[in-house]
Structure 1
Amino acid sequence: MVADPIVPPQHGRMLLQTLPDGDLLCISQPAHAVVSGQLARAWGAPGFHRPAPLEPVVLACAQHDIAWLDWELAPGFDAETGQPRGFRHVGARIHAPMWSLGVDRALAAWGLWPALLISRHGTLIYTRFMDRHRVAAEDAAAADAYMAEQAVRQADWISQLGASEAEVAANSALLAAVDQMSLVICWGDTTEAGTVAGHAPTADGGTRPLTFRRAGPRALICDPWPFLGDALRVETEVRRLPAPATYPDAAAMGAALAAAPWETLAVTLHPA
């Protein structure tokens, strides 16, 4: 049974993109994941791994941040910046239980493949991106508890699916790749020289580094090109805070976010 939702009252985790005019785009974690799903659905140029089974894998990519749905109801305030609390400012002691709840929800709503891939993505985050030498002991313990619990579940689900480790690894690598690509897109931090935007799983079981280069205000060149078709437009809904987008306290920021207009953040990718 799914546990009661966790709704922390004073914290939030957003992607923030500062525009040239000083306005601030506020992109929720689930909204960023929507872009990941669009990237995954278009994935599969010759030489690159094509997600299979297609729909469950695309769904997992599009919903991989399901753990943050409740969290986004109450975006937190960063007193140092006067803005919404940004990405990577929450410890594992808080988000590991949330991630576990997200896996429960994915299993209850969509079944084995989405739950498995979302669970594995959490494991990847705690193994690849968490520096054990720099985090608090409580955060390390929470991450370890998550991974131990989920390892048992993952093995059971792989057995039920009759999937090979190679299949699961390739789909997990795809989720990791489109997650990283979407983060770069949503942050808007690419340069004309190029920005590494993840590692693309290939048909032979390997990976290739992907680079994004800026080609215009809302256009990027992707090299190599892992997608079907000659171009790909991705989009998601975001909120815009007008410049200077800094606030004296959480109440003022919350009021500004509530009144902020929604708009579509759309970016078109092109091959080199």
Structure 2
Amino acid sequence: MLHREDPDGLIVITQPAHAWLAAQLARHWGNDRFGTFAPWEDVCLAAEQHDVGMAGWEAAPTLNPQTGRPHNYIDLPGRAHTEIVSHTSQIVLSQGRYAALLVSLLFTRVWEKYYTGPDSAAYAHEVQSFLARERDFQAAALSTLQRDPIYAADATPEVVARNQRLVMAWDTLSL
């Protein structure tokens, strides 16, 4: 969840709604100066579905005891957040392997940056297990995509890395 303060009260934006906005950015990305991306539909799908794993939790969110409000994505406790998103790439896999790979790469990058420091020592095992599962999934997905004649050209390390950075940029811009 995202929180926006408003004179009339708190505006709560769900993670899937935020992801929908990220997808709108993706669908309108590119011009004569910096081009577009491929595979277009798969990358847009990754942007749109990257937070689909949060939908169940957001139907009955936990409350932040300090504020009395639903936790937002920043103050959601790390252990709970890891558990909530741990199945996201598998959910997206049912829609497409390339999109699922990009979602998995997004979450491993975020978790490596924010959930592996000293503050996460209490749930380090869960985080490391999550990261190991995601890395295994990424290796298998990438191998499959590289052998697929439809996806092989877009499954090179350079193209996948660029597309992952784009999904991360749209995720950030849509906050």
Report if TM-score (shorter chain) is over 0.5. Answer: yes
1:113 match: 98
Alignment of 1:177-256 (within 5 A): 177-183=169-175
Structure 2: segments with no counterpart, 5+ residues:
147-154
Identical positions, percent: 35
TM-score calculated relative to the size of structure 1: 0.58
Are residues 1:103 and 2:103 paired? no
How far 1:142 moved relative to its partner? 1.6
Are residues 1:127 and 2:112 paired? yes
Partner of 2:119, secondary structure, is: coil
Distance in 2 (alpha carbons) for counterparts of 1:106 and 1:94: 20
Question: Greater CA radius of gyration, 1 or 2?
Answer: 1
1:29 match: 15
Alignment of 1:134-213 (within 5 A): 134-138=119-123, 140-162=124-146, 163-183=155-175
Distance in 1 (alpha carbons) for counterparts of 2:36 and 2:114: 26
Partner of 2:105, secondary structure, is: helix
- Residues 16-47 of structure 1: per-residue CA shift (max 9 Å, x gap): 1011x242111011111110000011111234
Instruction: Specify the code of the residue in structure 1 equivalent to 2:165.
Output: A
Contact 1:41/1:58, CA 8 A, preserved across alignment: yes
Partner of 1:33, secondary structure, is: helix
- Residues 149-193 of structure 1: per-residue CA shift (max 9 Å, x gap): 11121111112111101111001000100000011xxxxxxxxxx
Instruction: Specify the code of the residue in structure 1 equivalent to 2:96.
Output: G
Instruction: Specify the code of the residue in structure 2 equivalent to 1:179.
Output: D
- Moved beyond 4 Å, runs of 4+: none
Distance in 2 (alpha carbons) for counterparts of 1:136 and 1:98: 18
Given candidates 8, 22, 25, the residue that maps to 1:39 is 25
- Residues 25-84 of structure 1: per-residue CA shift (max 9 Å, x gap): 110111111100000111112343522100111011011001101101102223322322
Distance in 2 (alpha carbons) for counterparts of 1:49 and 1:131: 35
How far 1:147 moved relative to its partner? 1.3
Distance in 1 (alpha carbons) for counterparts of 2:66 and 2:170: 31
What RMSD, in angstroms, separates the aligned Cα atoms of the two structures?
Answer: 1.7
Contact 1:29/1:65, CA 8 A, preserved across alignment: yes
- Residues 228-264 of structure 1: per-residue CA shift (max 9 Å, x gap): xxxxxxxxxxxxxxxxxxxxxxxxxxxxxxxxxxxxx
Instruction: Specify the code of the residue in structure 2 equivalent to 1:59.
Output: L
Partner of 1:113, secondary structure, is: helix
Distance in 1 (alpha carbons) for counterparts of 2:97 and 2:125: 27
How far 1:91 moved relative to its partner? 3.3
Higher strand share: 1
Contact 1:100/1:119, CA 8 A, preserved across alignment: no
2:76 match: 90
